[in-house]
Structure 1
Amino acid sequence: MDDAADGMTGRYLLVLDDDFLDDTDRARVAVQEVCGGERPATTREGAPAPGRPRLFPELGVAVAELSPQQLAAARADRRLLGVEPERVRHAIGLSEEYLRGFRDAAQFLHAQLTAGAVAAAQFGDTEELTWGLQATGVAESPETGAGIAVAVLDTGLDLEHPDFAGRDVETRSFVAGQTVQDAQGHGTHVAGTACGPLAPSSGRRYGVAHEARLMVGKVLGDDGTGTDADILAGMSWAISSGAQIISMSLGADVRAVSTAYETAGRRALAAGTLVIAAAGNNARRSAGNPGFVGVPANSPSIMAVGAVDPSLAVADFSAASSTVDGGQVDIAAPGVDVHSSWPRPQVTRTISGTSMATPHVAGIAALWAQRTGARGQQLWAQLVQAAQRLPLPASDVGSGLVRAPGA
């Protein structure tokens, strides 16, 4: 099957009409009426009691349990732009399917090299820098991300990691019963790429926007999965807390665009916040399968990031554009053999995925935001205009390789 059978939570996402976006009290009343009289909790009130509806005012989206009668009424309610089942999403790059794809990619690349079909890699890690920072021009950029807030929504962060010691990191967990502490590793790795230090405690530099204000929202649990409600709560928190950029290396292999995520992305752009998400790792190009961009990256208002390898070829696992409106890859970034931070005691690790490409774009977006003052849609345009064109189909890499502002 093309689309993953993501688990349903039994709840529903309610997308309110734009008229309710700037009126939290009115939005709360509307949700309360749809849900049979129970007052919804907002993001600012913390975790609600089980079964209680939740409202994310900055997004105009709510999540609630509905009876069959309430569901039918909600779908006919003109105050709602959409009603859709809430699903469980995952950190992109953690599944067995991904691991098989990484193995296939390595075998495919080896076969090409053996046959002389491709040249040796153009880039490689040095003692000073990862290949990704070299390829994207980060090392030569005078910008640092200072004054720009980047929110990483993932599995959290190793709060005692030596490379973040003394860093003022704003954190919040949206996963019930779990702290922000990262027990999985994925979140620490992507946060490191986006906003890691200029001078790590050991080894090469791997972080892009080392002076950005780092915000870490734990929206995926220690098993690498999370609900739409927790992810949307993280997005709402990030926007209300002033994030100019949201990095999300998460999603699901579902072709259909989610009304909730598209509306959230559109409203984020209007608020001056650019949402950047991983295109997905469901391709098997070596086997003739280009894959497709999944939720939430296939939302027209969310920037979808594909992955390239050190020779600037599209990664074997990197999803290609699909035919749905918004299902295109918008830009590409280093996503193969990416070295970054990892929870102690390992401290650093090298892994691959569009998850690793996404924080490169988020960090570089912070550099452009610092230089030009661009926000929201203008920042999106800045990134795609500055991208390095590659001799690859736009369906694979969008506008090309993301590039940092030069000296």
Structure 2
Amino acid sequence: MVNGHDSEYTGRYVVLFDRSSQESGISALSSAAGIAPLERVTGTESGNVAELLERPDVSVLFEDLSAAVVEVRPEQRHALVTTAEAEPSIVTAEPERMVHALPITTPQQAPTEFFPAFRSDEDVITRHTMAETAAVQGPSWIEDGYTWGLQAIRTHLSHLTGDGVKVAVLDTGVDTDHPDLAGQLEASESFVPGETVEDVHGHGTHCIGTVAGPADPQQGPRYGVAPEARILAAKVLDNMGNGPDGQILAGMAWAVSHGARVISMSVGARVRPGELFPQTYEMLAVRALALGTQIVAAAGNDSRRPARTAPVSRPANCPSILSVAALDTALAPAHFSNGAVNGQGGEINIAAPGWQVRSAVPGGGYRAMNGTSMATPHAAGVVALLAQAHPDASAADLSAALVASAFPLGQPAADIGAGLLQAP
């Protein structure tokens, strides 16, 4: 569906409608901009969404969120934007971007050009000298029973397990046969055309393991924050780690409709200093909150501290999405972790372990990874623990409790927000 378009922009638009006057907005776009006919889907009827999103002859409306991915002819795009600006029933219309999971595994120079692309925030750090690596090892952590990350956030002292709380992880899928994770899955769905939910990339399985790996894994220390949480695994990026915004939107709608209390999104895109947060993701996050779901997202790995701190990535830079920074084993900001460079929404909300984080990977094994991607599922797991302790709390209340309980570390709020994540 994206063939023939710029590699970062698909040619489609993501449109949000006012929920009280959705039909007026649809009618306006159809008559003025000639959008392709709408296929209406709900999050519980998601079986053919991947195929619908691939078709150039239809637009897709996600009824649960009053949001659509619309097909429009190139010569009609200006008319679509003009109509969206003039029509009060259309909240926002933004070009659909591609999203990417691109772990950096080899040394490279800092980018000299801006690319508005998503990627996974895993960053396997190999560009630093042995001395620099040793400098961030910090205190010795004995990981016989729990990973250092679980100890740092005090999971090992909590009696909570996330029992029955649904957590959605939007990523590259999951290894459904992993002996540690098979029993943790409540449901899984692929929104990638022609691909099953099975995780070939590895990023999604690792993040899911950090959220809800079992109390007694097959090998090694416990690494899951909320071992009795129920995982909703949405594959929104393909086996190469790529996919458009529409697939993330589909995963969000599916997760909300299945009762997710938290959505974990370890994906991000660089933003320029001074760039505003994306209105589409902000409004989707607001609607998810109203339906009882908090979104947490990775702050991004574009910094090269101490020389340069990059702005919080998109969509973590949205005010209604919890932005998670990464800490190393010395409980200092990881050298790659982005910070509060931009204005509203561009702040860091909280920090969590993101260096040498051990979790599950496809094939039944385990691996340590680095990145704000690894910090984010720690936060999602803690939201699940809070939801178990306070089942009647709103999503906003859970978010506020998570931030309020952070342990201050003495680092600037621009780098770590409220401080170190803490399990209740």
TM-score (norm 2): 0.86
Give the residue type in structure 1 aligned to 2:101: A
Partners of 2:257 and 2:308 lie apart in 1 by 40
Q: Does 1:401 align with 2:420?
A: yes
Q: Report what 1:87 is aligned to.
A: 97
Q: Does 1:150 align with 2:193?
A: no
Gap change, CA 1:147 and 1:100, over 3 Å in 2: closer
Q: Report what 2:59 is aligned to.
A: 53
Q: Report what 1:318 is aligned to.
A: 337
Query: Residues 2-401 of structure 1 correspond to what in structure 2 (within 5 A)?
Result: 7-20=8-21, 32-33=30-31, 36=34, 38-44=36-42, 45=45, 46-47=48-49, 48=52, 50-51=55-56, 52-66=58-72, 67-71=76-80, 72-91=82-101, 93-94=103-104, 102-104=125-127, 109-110=132-133, 113=135, 121-254=138-271, 255-286=275-306, 288-344=307-363, 347-373=365-391, 374-401=393-420
Gap change, CA 1:396 and 1:64, over 3 Å in 2: same
Partners of 1:126 and 1:355 lie apart in 2 by 21
> CA shift at 1:41, angstroms?
2.0
Gap change, CA 1:272 and 1:383, over 3 Å in 2: same
* Ranges in structure 2 where 5+ consecutive residues have no aligned partner: 1-5, 109-120
* Ranges in structure 1 where 5+ consecutive residues have no aligned partner: none
Partners of 1:123 and 1:375 lie apart in 2 by 38
- Contact 1:189/1:340 (CA < 8 Å) preserved in 2? yes
Name the Cα RMSD after superposition: 2.3
- Contact 1:60/1:264 (CA < 8 Å) preserved in 2? no
Partners of 2:233 and 2:104 lie apart in 1 by 19
Q: Secondary structure at the match of 1:369?
A: helix
Choose 31-40 or 216-225, whichever is displaced more. 31-40
- Contact 1:276/1:358 (CA < 8 Å) preserved in 2? yes
Partners of 2:29 and 2:165 lie apart in 1 by 34
Partners of 1:79 and 1:95 lie apart in 2 by 45
Gap change, CA 1:37 and 1:401, over 3 Å in 2: closer
Give the residue type in structure 2 aligned to 1:81: V
Give the residue type in structure 2 aligned to 1:11: R
Q: Secondary structure at the match of 1:207?
A: coil
- Contact 2:348/2:414 (CA < 8 Å) preserved in 1? yes
TM-score (norm 1): 0.89
Q: Secondary structure at the match of 2:373?
A: helix
Give the residue type in structure 2 aligned to 1:158: D
- Contact 1:342/1:348 (CA < 8 Å) preserved in 2? yes
- Contact 1:6/1:89 (CA < 8 Å) preserved in 2? no
Q: Secondary structure at the match of 1:163?
A: coil
> CA shift at 1:26, angstroms?
6.6
- Contact 1:28/1:39 (CA < 8 Å) preserved in 2? no
> CA shift at 1:37, angstroms?
6.3
Gap change, CA 1:362 and 1:85, over 3 Å in 2: same
Structure 1 or 2: more helix by fraction: 1
- Contact 1:244/1:272 (CA < 8 Å) preserved in 2? yes
Number of residue pairs matched by the alignment: 390
Q: Report what 2:114 is aligned to.
A: none
